[in-house]
Every structure is written in structure tokens, then in C-alpha cells.
Amino acid sequence: DHQLQIMATQFTPVDDTSIPTGELKSVEGTAMDFLKPHTIGARIAQAPNGNGYDHNFVLRKTGRGTLDLAAVLHDPKSGRVMQVFTSEPGIQLYTANYLDGSLTGKSGKPYVKNGAVCLETQHFPDSPNKPNFPSTTLQPGERFVSTTIHRFLAK
């Protein structure tokens, strides 16, 4: 029942092996459109590849390396909110697509398919092999700095 908003107008489609194709595709009118908050599970069956979300979103940035709001996750039942700010150009949404209930967690509760959500800030997957993706190449003497902040609130 968690509501998710991702500040992205594009995502990076993947092939059958979950490697990005190199294309940047609009989220508009698709199951990938989280510009307005909505329940994660509402369109999960329509996600590309049909197994839930495991996709990189191209974040709207105010500048290269700027710390911008990337996503907001809200649990309406408890009122808890997590805001994710990052200097990275992308965020991977993963919805525990390969859990099958055979593993158990706290109080013996099983870990089930789509029973969790991960928001992973990053450069785009396979970017060294995709010239149109933001570069991850670091030359001798260069410094890499990345910042991600998770802010927790209650509504």
C-alpha cells in the first residue's frame, strides 16, 4: 500500500538479461510513471518484463552533481515518509521480484515476492558500454564524490 513518487520523466529499458538497451524512454502513460505519487502495486503487473520493477529511472537534475529530491516513499497507514535526495543521475527501483517466501525474517514472517521495495541511487547500469549514458570513467588524479540523503518524516 506504499505510495511512491520518483522525480523522473525517463527510464532506461532493459533487454531479456536485465541489461539496459542504451535507450532512454519516456515514463509518460506507462507503468513506469511515478511523477505523481501512487501505490507501487497499482501497475506492477504492467511493468516492463512483467516481473515487477527492477529498473533505472533517469532523474530530473538541476545540474551535474547537484543534490536534488529523487523520490518520496509514503506509508499512508503509519504516516511514515522517506525522502531520497541524491547527486546521482539515476535511481533503481527494485520490488523484491525473486523472493518466494522460502526465507523468513523477524517473527517468522516470510519474505514474499514484491513484499519489499528498494530505492538505489546510482549512475546508469552498464554506462561504460553506453556512450549516451552519463560517464562513470574516472581519470588518474580525478576525484569521485557522491551524496545520497535519506530523510525520514511522519505525516
Residue 97 CA to residue 84 CA, distance in Å, equals: 22
Question: Residue 64's pLDDT is what?
Answer: 83
Mean per-residue pLDDT, 116-133: 97
Contacts of 56 (CB under 8 A, 6+ apart): 11, 12, 20, 90, 91, 92, 122, 124, 125
Is 1's pLDDT higher than 90? no
- Residues 40-91 have pLDDT tens digits of 999 999 998 888 999 999 999 998 889 999 999 999 999 999 999 999 999 9
- Which residues contact residue 35 at a Cβ distance below 8 angstroms, ignoring those fewer than 6 apart? 5, 6, 7, 8, 9, 27
Q: Are 121 and 150 in contact (CB under 8 A)?
A: no
Domain boundaries, the chain: 3-154
Q: What percent of the chain has pLDDT over 90?
A: 92
Which CATH class, in words, describes the domain spanning 3-154? mainly beta
Burial of 89 (0-12, 13-18, 19+ CB in 10 A): buried
Across residues 111-131, what is the average pLDDT? Answer: 96
pLDDT of residue 155: 86
Strands (DSSP E) contained in 68-113 are: 68-74, 80-86, 90-94
* pLDDT the model gives residue 50: 81
DSSP 20: B
Task: Indicate whether 125 pLDDT > 90.
Answer: yes
